[in-house]
Amino acid sequence: MTKDGYDFQFTDPALKARVVRAKRASRKAAATEPAVTEVDAVPEAPLHVPVDDSATTMAVYDHAAVERQIELLIGRPYYGDKEEYLGSPFPTLSESDQSRLDRLISLYHDPRTGRRNLLFGSPELVANLARIRDRCPGFEAIIDLISRAAALAMRTGTPLFVPPLLLVGPPGTGKTHASRQIASALRTDIHAINCATNSDAQALVVGHPTSWKAARMGVLTEAMASGSSAQPVVLLDEVDKLETHWSEKPYNTLLTLLERENSSALVDEFLRVSFDLSGAIIIATANDIGALPPFIIDRFTILAVDAPIGKALLAVTRLIAEGVVAELRDAVAMPSEAVILRAARHNPRRLGKLLRLAFGFAAAAERDQLTLDDIAAAEALAVGPAQSRPIGFIHSMEKSEAGGREEGDERHRLRDVHQNSGKDREK
């Protein structure tokens, strides 16, 4: 059989000729085509292998519970990304349930399925803490405690653990400032809550169920879900001033946050999903520890912060002055040592306002450098007289009220005299 031979007979010679020509053309093209080498070969796409980050992250909420709550609300399975193709329309819900469903769906589609980064010790973290130690005079003991915790975490390879801290000291000592500096050094989120202005402790921690009017998820659980860290700094500022409505015991609610066993499975009452806040670094500040109940005090590691004096006070004054100069975009000069010494007489909380007023006097005189006269002029505005006199109708009302009381007393005295004189006549 020839190379163009076949095991069957063509009945049409013309058809056989066409087939033979096509076969020869195909062989010729194959002979002239370059061979495919390994370089020319297209590499196969690597398989997507999910990264196991379970050792460096932690679930801050129960993703499976989120799915269950969605399915309970819509009354059928939830298909996630395939919902558009496989799902049926959602049922009509009340406004609060619809708000709850929207929040649950947002948590379900979180790219990290609720996992957030843990904090681990590192030389960089320890160096950051050492740097802010110099910038927060009077807070060395607090920063050293956290530095030791970082060293332990670095040595053991475990996440950073810091017990709940309570910083107690007089107003204006920089407790809030130091707490923010610590969060910055740890390179983590900070959730600051002013307890003095908070009117609802339950809304602060675990939220309210949908049966409540204007119900919403807890402030802290929402912050954990929207943040990037499983171990943020939670700053409870002025915790000794936490007062809410008459029917609530706010410190009982706060207790669930301070107890590690409770905070690891804290159920948000709006979502009905458990959250894990056990990794949070809680720093509270207070002026009067006597205002706190004993069961709350027992849960804290208490660190006293004294008002800065001497060199520490001068260092604080310089830091505040540097901050004011930076806020003014370095368009003014750093105050001299004589000005710093004069300004250091004042409470650190008042000092920022005092320096800004003083720079205003300097600017009005077309100067960038402060003088002692600028500080004195600013003191007259910032400090003011020891006793401010009431103004306007308040003063008049006080006068009229005092006068009214005097007139009433006089009427009662005359009535008593008249009654006594009548009794004497009867005798």
What domains are there in the chain, each with its CATH number? 57-116 (no CATH), 123-304 (3.40.50.300), 310-382 (1.10.8)
Please give the Cα distance from 135 to 247 (Å, whole number): 43
Measured in degrees and rounded to the nearest 5, phi and psi for residue 348 equal -55, -30
pTM value > 0.85:
no
Residue 369: the pLDDT is 95
- Which tokens go with 173? 């000592």
Percent of the chain beyond pLDDT 90?
Answer: 57
- Which pLDDT value is given to residue 11? 63
Using H for helix, E for strand and C for coil, what is the string for the chain?
CCCCCCCCCCCCHHHHHHHHHHHHHHHHHHHHCCCCCCCCCCCCCCCCCCCCCCCCEEECECHHHHHHHHHHHHCCCCCHHHHHHHCCCCCCCCHHHHHHHHHHHHHHCCCCCCEEECCECCHHHHHHHHHHHHHCCCCHHHHHHHHHHHHHHHHHCCECCCCCEEEECCCCCCHHHHHHHHHHHHCCCEEEEEHHHCCCHHHHHCCCCCCCCCCCCCHHHHHHHHCCECCCEEEEECHHHCCCCCCCCHHHHHHHHHCHHHHCCEEECCCCEEECCCCCEEEEEECCHHHCCHHHHCCCEEEECCCCCHHHHHHHHHHHHHHHHHHCCCCCCCCCHHHHHHHCCCCHHHHHHHHHHHHHHHHHCCCCCCCHHHHHHHHHHHCCCCCCCCCHHHHHHHHHHHHHHHHHHHHHHHHHHHHHHHHHHHC
Mean pLDDT in each 10-residue stretch from start to end of the chain (427 residues)?
53 64 68 53 50 84 97 95 90 94 96 96 95 90 96 96 94 86 93 86 88 89 95 94 74 89 94 96 94 94 90 89 92 95 88 94 96 94 59 41 50 50 46
